[in-house]
């Protein structure tokens, strides 16, 4: 419990920074949405954008003059920010100890490495859940002036579920990278690189039907906002892939952490 609480305190500043960023993003986005709300003429502006860009961002699936359409587009940013934050919290759980030269003391405590890593992982998971809640509450408050109906609340709830699932995936990947890497100072950059690469893969997958197979490679495609809006569900195959990635990453992280030396 002490390790868990210490990890939460160590990441409190990070959570505050990410929260401020997401709050500013929502405020700016809602301000821009005011120009589109119930104004179909504004949709003509989208015609000026390249078709490839609209396909990559899946913007054809949403009506930007409605709250649901606005939230569908916003999910792209929610997912990316949540993924990066969770990935950094996951990778930083171990890398921070080695960077600060405190890993020797931490591992000398009368607890097993399994309990040590579990406490770190649970703290990162808590931070990820708090970030989702902050995003959720901020969005709810920001859209109240547009008098959202039940369908908007339900869609937002599904988006937040999807955002949390994406966070869990990259949190687990972050733990794996930190457990395997011999360069703790670079784990954050490595995880961020993986996340951005997979994000771009998800965009490329939407450019052409022949590239549709790429959707299985990127978790960002598993939780498609368009499908969450129009069908209200995630395909079981994507839940299976999510579980597979998380389990394999965690098993690999525990296995590598139990067998690693201390890198200084």
Round to whole Å and give the CA distance between 194 and 174: 10
Round to whole Å and give the CA distance between 201 and 129: 26
Answer positive or negative: Cα dihedral of 21, 22, 26, 32: positive
- Check whether 264 has a pLDDT greater than 50: no
CA 72 centroid distance within chain:
15
Provide the angle, in degrees to the nearest 10, between the axes of the packed helices 12-33 and 113-142: 30
Residues 191-247 have pLDDT tens digits of: 999 999 998 888 887 666 677 788 888 898 898 888 888 888 888 999 999 999 999
> What is the average per-residue pLDDT within 94-110?
63
Q: What six digits make up the tokens of 60?
A: 């054809």
- 11-15, 158-162, 257-261: segment of lowest average pLDDT: 257-261
Whether this prediction's pTM lies above 0.85 is answered by yes
């Amino acid at each position: 419990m002490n390790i868990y609480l210490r990890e939460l305190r160590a990441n409190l500043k990070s959570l505050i920074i990410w929260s401020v960023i997401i709050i500013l993003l929502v405020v700016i986005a809602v301000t821009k949405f005011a120009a589109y709300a119930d104004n179909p003429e504004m949709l003509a502006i989208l015609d000026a954008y390249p078709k490839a860009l609209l396909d990559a961002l899946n913007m054809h699936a949403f009506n930007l003059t409605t709250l649901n359409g606005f939230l569908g587009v916003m999910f792209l940013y929610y997912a990316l920010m949540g993924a990066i934050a969770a990935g950094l919290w996951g990778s930083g759980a171990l890398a921070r100890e080695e960077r600060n030269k405190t890993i020797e003391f931490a591992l000398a405590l009368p607890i097993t490495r399994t309990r040590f890593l579990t406490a770190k992982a649970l703290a990162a998971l808590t931070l990820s859940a708090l970030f989702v809640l902050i995003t959720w509450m901020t969005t709810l408050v920001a859209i109240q002036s547009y008098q959202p109906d039940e369908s908007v609340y339900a869609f937002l709830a599904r988006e937040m579920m999807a955002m949390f699932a994406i966070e869990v995936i990259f949190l687990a990947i972050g733990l794996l990278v930190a457990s395997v890497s011999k360069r703790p100072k670079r784990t954050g950059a490595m995880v961020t690189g993986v996340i951005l690469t997979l994000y771009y893969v998800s965009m490329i997958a939407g450019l052409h039907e022949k590239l549709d197979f790429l959707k299985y490679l990127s978790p960002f495609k598993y939780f498609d906002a368009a499908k969450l809006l129009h069908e209200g569900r995630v395909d079981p195959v994507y839940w299976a892939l999510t579980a597979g990635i998380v389990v394999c990453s965690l098993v690999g992280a525990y296995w590598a952490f139990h067998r690693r030396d201390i890198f200084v």
